[in-house]
């Protein structure tokens, strides 16, 4: 087999479909190997299309059994069929009904796209282009139809049958052991939002009254025996509905809302209309099996998928180039929800950490692309941090620019003007132009080019004039030499030795925001009585890198006194990063590290107990990947790891008594029932951050404390934190705890995933062997995406020293896994491959090893389009 260069789809080639499909009646007779699908499609020529054009329906791996037009079998000469397309060269130039019968094998579907079985449960995943694996169709988001779905199955095998929309009818088919259910979805939708489920499932449910007076049955369906682990997800559904009504005026629009958790799922979850299907990792939670981070992720993803009901489903995307229209906006909405449910500052810091960890490196490497890409070979490779996370930052900047009330009015207008339509980024922006009176043409540039902008800032104080001047200069690395300046909202203020300088004023700063819209600009503040420290990009008001020379002492003033929580945290991060990068360049001083430790100590004394979650984030220090991203070239991950370890040792040693006292002060009194709320989670996170630093400086003490924490743990958060600390302390205690953990959770795959991940991220030479050994563990399965991501994904994406080993062994292990997985699940294989995305930034020896692994992958015969696309772009 020869590897084809995948054909490229381009935004500029968009044209409306030549045909439309108004109604779909699907009859799906489920069978493990021989599922029959009959689709009755009401088709008509699109007035906006080309008259007389052929009808070309998409297919993928389909077998046609029968084909009728208006009830008459179609003559063989009137159509052409292949697994990948069904063509009518001369379709009627009027509305007609096409009835198509296809046959599919859900059990053989290892790609987990289209209809497949997960642990015996029939389920579907159609975004982006999986519906064409169920029946021939115009599988593009601007073709929207009203669906009626009849699902039939053996009752013992699939007692629960779920579809999109509202239930209409159900019953037994006497004498056959089979039964059926009919679902009708009155809202026209693109095929990617189609879903069905059939299986043995338990459920938790409750009724919810929308503010429009509709009573909705909310239900979460899970594997038998796991219903009590679905309670938190159900509660999150209800809170999401309440919040969207209040924050965006959006109410739910069907009589039922179903969530189903399945164990084999390529992504996090999917917003199918009225029937969200989830990776069970983002539904199931109990104190004994889920960490605080799991609870937070469940809350966020439940909300995300629910919010898509308006931003994605009621208003969908015209084409896949507009993916950020639904994803960036919906991430913004779920971030706002989580911020309202939790601590806003703490959540914002988490958002920025994710953006910097995932999107900044993507934007700086060979896989960089605009938030609205202009071309793709495989759309499933564009569900990226850039589209999602940077897409959300664009929406946040828009809100900062137009202000809270015009933003809300613009959202209302966007929803009402585009309800039931497949829209574009332009449709989105025009709503805010109308409500704010602001021209957003130049702002729209944020969608168009890749690369993280840099903003260089210098500050000059004039004591005689009592003025402070800030000079800004923006550059756009990676965007091309002809790139115009961006419109960048800079939220800022000045801070003095005792706190924010409220009296300093500047005419270009409105409500604390300066809009930088040229390559260069200067600001002058008046009435500045002493040299100030500028607090720039408060709340991370734009997704840029900021270059400003500043003394550690000034940054530590911000840590102490800034009114902005994000910048208080950022100040400590900057100092830590400078110390670590200085150390690996041989330019750091112990005095600098000691001054930083002292400042952290003072900070902990003053604030730790008031806001433990925030304090834990301050103690976390920039990660190895953060530092690599900041260094940017000729990266030596081992040097980074040692520099980081050295600073942690120094801080841990210097703060030891304080950290121990903090742990004691934060301990829960025995018998306190577990609660996943943000405050309790914050106390747990600070206790564990303290443990981690204690252990860095004093391994013996750390081992004893970690083991004690594991032994005393009443919840997975504390237990796992103890284990993570131990993972960095080689020795028999660690191995004993790993073994005990595995024994305890032998029947809990999602818990064993945590165990796989911790071991895969140990920064030691033996880890490769450990990962290879774990790949043969009975709980590991290449067919389950969660297992692969936990073990090999964690290794490749979160173990920088071992993935990037100079001898190439880490690249080889990852490449082998990619190639093995590509034969069954190309989407997950391609996702794993993105670990190679920063290879060009490595020092030469590692760079050469990474390149040869990439070339080996690309040269493999029979490679999927998904992996070919990533490998090809990585090497380009």
Q: Which residues contact ligand ARG by CB under 6 A?
A: 127-128, 266-267, 269-271, 304-305, 327, 380, 383, 827
Q: Are 528 and 469 in contact (CB under 8 A)?
A: no
Minimum distance of ligand ARG from residue 311's CB (angstroms)? 11
Reported as type and span, the H/E element at residue 488 is strand 488-491
- Tell me the C-alpha distance between 17 and 152, whole Å: 32
Query: ∠ CA 292-296-301 to the nearest 5 degrees?
Result: 145
State the catalytic residue, choosing from 25, 152, 299, 305: 305
- Confirm whether 305 is a catalytic residue: yes
380 binds, among ligand ARG, Zn ion, none (CB under 5 to 8 A by kind): ligand ARG
- Tell me the C-alpha distance between 120 and 115, whole Å: 12
127 binds, among ligand ARG, Zn ion, none (CB under 5 to 8 A by kind): ligand ARG
Q: What is the 3-state secondary structure (H, E, C) of 489-551?
A: EEECEEEECCEECCCCECCCCECCEEEECCCEEEEEEECCCCCCEEECCCCCCCCCEEECCCC
In the bound state with ligand ARG, the residue whose beta carbon lies nearer, of 244 and 327, is 327
From residue 281 to residue 320, the character string flagging contacts with Zn ion as x (rule: CB under 5 A) and all else as - is: ----------------------------------------
The H helix count followed by the E strand count for the chain is 28, 33
- Tell me the C-alpha distance between 18 and 657, whole Å: 73
- Tell me the C-alpha distance between 842 and 330, whole Å: 35
Structure tokens at 619: 């103690």
In the bound state with Zn ion, the residue whose beta carbon lies nearer, of 327 and 692, is 327
Minimum distance of ligand ARG from residue 116's CB (angstroms)? 12
Strand partners, 340: none
128 binds, among Zn ion, ligand ARG, none (CB under 5 to 8 A by kind): ligand ARG
- C-alpha pair distances (Å), 218 with each of 161, 203, 239, 256: 16, 10, 12, 6
- Tell me the C-alpha distance between 133 and 328, whole Å: 27
Size of residue set near Zn ion by CB under 5 A: 2
- Scan for tokens 């015209």, then name that residue: 318
Minimum distance of ligand ARG from residue 784's CB (angstroms)? 16
Looking only at residues 319 through 338 of this chain, which bind Zn ion when binding is defined by CB under 5 A?
Answer: 327, 330
- Tell me the C-alpha distance between 642 and 626, whole Å: 14
The strand pair at 316-317 and 422-423 is best described as parallel
DSSP 3-state of 274: coil
571 binds, among ligand ARG, Zn ion, none (CB under 5 to 8 A by kind): none
- Write the DSSP string, 771-785: HHHHTTSTT--TT-H
266 binds, among ligand ARG, Zn ion, none (CB under 5 to 8 A by kind): ligand ARG
Minimum distance of Zn ion from residue 308's CB (angstroms)? 6
Minimum distance of ligand ARG from residue 395's CB (angstroms)? 15
Q: Are 145 and 21 in contact (CB under 8 A)?
A: yes
Looking only at residues 448 through 467 of this chain, which bind Zn ion when binding is defined by CB under 5 A?
Answer: none
In the bound state with Zn ion, the residue whose beta carbon lies nearer, of 330 and 834, is 330
Minimum distance of ligand ARG from residue 379's CB (angstroms)? 7
Q: In 804-843, which residue ranges form alpha helices assigned H by DSSP?
A: 809-822, 826-833
- Tell me the C-alpha distance between 508 and 518, whole Å: 14
Q: What is the CA radius of gyration of the chain?
A: 28
269 binds, among ligand ARG, Zn ion, none (CB under 5 to 8 A by kind): ligand ARG
In the bound state with ligand ARG, the residue whose beta carbon lies nearer, of 133 and 476, is 133
Minimum distance of ligand ARG from residue 269's CB (angstroms)? 6
In the bound state with ligand ARG, the residue whose beta carbon lies nearer, of 128 and 727, is 128
Q: What is the 3-state secondary structure (H, E, C) of 42-81?
A: EEEECCCCCCCCCEEEECCCCEEEEEEECCEECCHHHCEE
Looking only at residues 565 through 584 of this chain, which bind Zn ion when binding is defined by CB under 5 A?
Answer: none
In the bound state with ligand ARG, the residue whose beta carbon lies nearer, of 316 and 688, is 316
267 binds, among ligand ARG, Zn ion, none (CB under 5 to 8 A by kind): ligand ARG
Other Cβ atoms within 10 Å of 261 Cβ, number: 27
- Tell me the C-alpha distance between 713 and 720, whole Å: 9
Minimum distance of Zn ion from residue 271's CB (angstroms)? 6
Reported as type and span, the H/E element at residue 402 is helix 391-402
Minimum distance of Zn ion from residue 122's CB (angstroms)? 23
In the bound state with ligand ARG, the residue whose beta carbon lies nearer, of 313 and 400, is 313
In the bound state with ligand ARG, the residue whose beta carbon lies nearer, of 333 and 719, is 333
Q: Are 774 and 780 in contact (CB under 8 A)?
A: yes
In the bound state with ligand ARG, the residue whose beta carbon lies nearer, of 593 and 797, is 797
Residues that bind Zn ion (CB under 5 A): 327, 330
Report the catalytic residues: 305
């Amino acid at each position: 087999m020869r590897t084809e260069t995948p054909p490229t789809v381009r935004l500029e080639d968009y044209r409306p479909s030549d045909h439309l499909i108004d109604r779909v009646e699907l009859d799906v007779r489920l069978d493990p190997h021989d599922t029959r699908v009959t689709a009755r499609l009401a088709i008509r020529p699109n007035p906006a299309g080309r008259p007389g054009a052929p009808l070309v329906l998409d297919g993928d791996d389909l077998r046609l059994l029968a084909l009728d037009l208006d009830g008459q079998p179609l003559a063989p000469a009137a159509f052409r069929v292949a697994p990948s397309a069904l063509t009518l060269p001369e379709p009627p130039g009027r509305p007609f009904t096409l009835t198509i019968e296809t046959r599919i094998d859900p059990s053989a579907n290892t790609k987990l796209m289209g209809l497949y079985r997960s642990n015996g449960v029939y389920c579907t995943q159609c975004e982006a282009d999986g519906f064409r694996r169920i029946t021939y169709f115009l599988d593009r988001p601007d073709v929207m139809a009203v669906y009626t779905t009849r699902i039939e199955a053996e009752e013992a095998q699939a007692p629960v049958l779920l579809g999109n929309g509202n239930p209409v009818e159900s019953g037994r088919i006497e004498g056959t052991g089979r039964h059926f259910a009919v679902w009708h979805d009155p809202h026209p939708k693109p095929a990617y939002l189609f879903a069905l489920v059939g299986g043995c499932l338990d459920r938790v449910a409750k009724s919810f009254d929308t503010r429009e007076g509709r009573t909705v049955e909310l239900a979460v369906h899970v594997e038998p025996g796991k219903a009590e682990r679905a309670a938190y997800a159900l509660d999150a559904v209800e809170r999401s509905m309440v919040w969207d009504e209040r924050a965006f005026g959006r109410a739910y629009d069907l009589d039922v809302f179903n969530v189903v958790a399945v164990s084999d799922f390529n992504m996090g979850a999917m917003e199918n209309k009225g029937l969200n299907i989830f990776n069970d990792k983002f539904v199931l939670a109990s104190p004994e099996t889920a960490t605080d981070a799991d609870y937070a992720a469940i809350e966020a993803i439940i909300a995300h998928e629910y919010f898509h009901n308006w931003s994605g489903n009621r208003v969908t995307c015209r084409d896949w180039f507009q993916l950020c229209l639904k994803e960036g906006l919906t991430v913004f909405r779920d971030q706002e929800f989580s911020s309202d449910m939790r601590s806003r500052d703490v959540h914002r810091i988490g958002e920025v950490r994710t953006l910097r960890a995932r999107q900044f490196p993507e934007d700086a490497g060979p896989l960089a692309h605009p938030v609205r890409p202009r071309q793709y070979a495989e759309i499933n490779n564009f569900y990226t941090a850039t589209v999602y996370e940077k897409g959300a930052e664009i929406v946040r900047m828009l809100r900062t620019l137009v202000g809270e009330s015009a933003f809300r009015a613009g959202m209302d207008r966007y929803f009402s003007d585009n309800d039931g339509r497949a829209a574009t980024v332009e449709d989105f922006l025009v709503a805010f132009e109308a409500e704010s009176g602001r021209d957003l043409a130049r702002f729209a540039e944020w969608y168009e080019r890749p690369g993280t902008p840099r903003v260089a800032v210098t500050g000059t104080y004039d004591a005689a004039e009592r003025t402070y001047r800030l000079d800004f200069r923006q550059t756009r690395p990676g965007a091309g030499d002809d790139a115009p300046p961006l419109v960048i909202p800079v939220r800022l203020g000045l801070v003095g030795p005792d706190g924010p300088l409220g009296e300093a004023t500047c005419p270009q700063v409105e409500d604390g925001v300066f809009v930088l819209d040229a390559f260069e600009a200067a600001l002058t503040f008046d009435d500045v009585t002493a040299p100030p420290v500028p607090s720039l990009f408060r709340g991370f008001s734009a997704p840029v890198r900021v270059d400003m020379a500043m003394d550690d002492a000034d940054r530590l003033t911000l840590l102490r006194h800034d009114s902005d929580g994000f910048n208080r945290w950022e100040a400590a991060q900057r100092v830590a990063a400078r110390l670590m990068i200085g150390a690996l360049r041989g330019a750091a001083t112990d005095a600098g590290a000691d001054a930083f430790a002292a400042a952290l100590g003072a900070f902990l004394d003053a604030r730790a107990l008031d806001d433990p979650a925030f304090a834990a984030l301050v103690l976390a220090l920039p990660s190895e990947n953060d530092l690599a991203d900041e260094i940017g070239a000729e990266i030596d991950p081992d040097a980074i790891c040692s520099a980081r370890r050295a600073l942690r040792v120094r801080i841990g040693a210097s703060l030891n008594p304080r950290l121990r006292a903090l742990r004691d002060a934060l301990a829960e009194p025995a018998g306190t029932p577990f609660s996943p709320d943000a405050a309790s989670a914050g106390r747990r996170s600070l206790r564990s951050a303290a443990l981690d630093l204690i252990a860095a400086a004093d391994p013996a003490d750390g081992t004893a404390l970690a083991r004690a924490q594991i032994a005393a743990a009443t919840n997975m958060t504390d237990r796992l934190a103890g284990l993570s600390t131990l993972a960095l302390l080689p020795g028999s205690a660690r191995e004993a705890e790993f073994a005990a953990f595995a024994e305890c959770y032998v029947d809990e795959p999602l818990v064993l995933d945590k165990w796989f991940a911790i071991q895969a991220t140990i920064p030691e030479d033996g880890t490769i062997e450990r990962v290879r050994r774990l790949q043969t563990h009975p709980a590991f399965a290449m067919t389950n995406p969660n297992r692969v991501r936990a073990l090999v994904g964690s290794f490749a994406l979160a173990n920088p020293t071992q993935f990037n080993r100079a001898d190439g062994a880490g690249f080889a292990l990852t490449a082998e896994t990619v190639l093995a997985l590509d034969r069954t699940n190309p989407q997950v294989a391609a996702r794993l491959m993105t670990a190679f995305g920063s290879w060009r930034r490595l020092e030469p020896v590692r760079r050469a090893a990474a390149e040869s692994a990439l070339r080996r992958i690309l040269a493999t015969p029979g490679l999927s389009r998904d992996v070919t696309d990533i490998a090809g772009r990585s090497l380009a």
